[in-house]
Amino acid sequence: MNVPIKRRPEKTGQTMSFCYGDEQITFERVKRPQATGKVLIKVHPDCRVIASAPEDADSEAVLSAVKKRGRWIYEQLRDFRKQLEFITPRQYISGESHYYLGKRYLLKVIETPEQVQGVKLLRGKLEVSVRVKSTDKVKERLTDWYKERAKETFAKRLDAMLEQALWVDERPPLRILTMQTQWGSCSPSGRITLNPHLVKAPRECIDYVILHELCHIAEHNHSERFYRLMNRVMPKWEKTKEKLDGMAMAITN
């Protein structure tokens, strides 16, 4: 199983829709963990609408509950769409903001034809040295730097989280892999894969993803047992997840 990036996640539930005014609003129905009789509706910054409902809830009842919140959903979508208009692809030039461990740093590109190329974190800035200023070269240097930091950071955090994951008998293999739709995943054999973009998030977000995958070693599906484990090792994981979801577009762009 995996922790999806809430920017372009894979569909896991039932797609439904309804009309509000002249707009058709599509939403995804998913099973609500530790479900009560209520339908929980959430609009994400990437304009996805999710309705979490008990598994045995009637589809018409779920649709009715979502329709009742139609105006609120419409207004949320309108506000998030306005925000998305201001998100532009990175150009990898001096003055841009880039993240590392939850903090924002200004990018400083230095052209040094005769010196060693690389990346340094100095005085609140990410300094990238290249022989010739080029978007591709700066991006390449930064990508390599993030991957190296990810290897070091994830290994340390995995060791720390294993102290809480008492159900794990031995240290699982760890792989770093850039993924478009996932922060992390756990294979049936227990290998954990983490997205290097995650190293741009705060430490508690990294810990959340690692713990999520460690819980999948005990329970590969999102079952009641899985959520009991998550609640035990990270009681406020839902707030941390929400924080990570809110950063997704900024740190993967």
CA 122 from chain centre, in angstroms, equals: 27
Residue 9 lies in a domain: yes
> pLDDT tens-digit profile of 119-145?
999 888 999 999 988 999 999 999 999
Instruction: Let me know whether 120 and 202 are in one domain.
Output: yes
pLDDT at 11: 47
Residue 247 lies in a domain: yes
Among the candidates 52, 84, 116, a domain finishes at 84
- The number of domains in the chain is 2
Instruction: Let me know whether 8 and 113 are in one domain.
Output: no
Residue 8 predicted with pLDDT over 50? no
Residue 2 predicted with pLDDT over 70? no
pLDDT band (50, 70, 90) for residue 175: very high
Residue 89 predicted with pLDDT over 70? yes
Q: Cβ of 123: how many Cβ atoms within 10 Å? A: 9
> pLDDT tens-digit profile of 200-210?
999 999 999 99
Residue 89 lies in a domain: no
Residue 92 lies in a domain: no
pLDDT at 56: 84
Residue 65 lies in a domain: yes
Residue 91 lies in a domain: no
pLDDT at 101: 96
Please enumerate in sequence order all residues whose Cβ is within 8 A of that of 212, keeping only pairs 6 or more positions apart, or say none.
Answer: 3, 184, 230, 237
Domain that holds residue 57: 2-84
Q: Determine if the pTM surpasses 0.85.
A: no
Provide the phi-psi class of 3: left if phi over 0, else alpha when psi is between -120 and 50, else beta.
Answer: beta
Instruction: Let me know whether 228 and 205 are in one domain.
Output: yes
pLDDT at 81: 78
Rounded Cα gap, residues 30 and 49, in angstroms: 11
pLDDT at 48: 87
Mean pLDDT, the chain, integer: 88
pLDDT band (50, 70, 90) for residue 10: very low
Percent of the residues in the chain that have a pLDDT greater than 70, as a whole number: 91
Among the candidates 59, 84, 109, a domain finishes at 84
Residue 34 predicted with pLDDT over 90? no
Query: For 18-27, 77-86, 144-153, 212-221, which range has the lowest pLDDT when averaged over its residues?
Result: 77-86
Rounded Cα gap, residues 237 and 239, in angstroms: 5
Maximum mean pLDDT: which of 81-90, 106-115, 168-177: 168-177
Residue 216 lies in a domain: yes
Residue 240 lies in a domain: yes
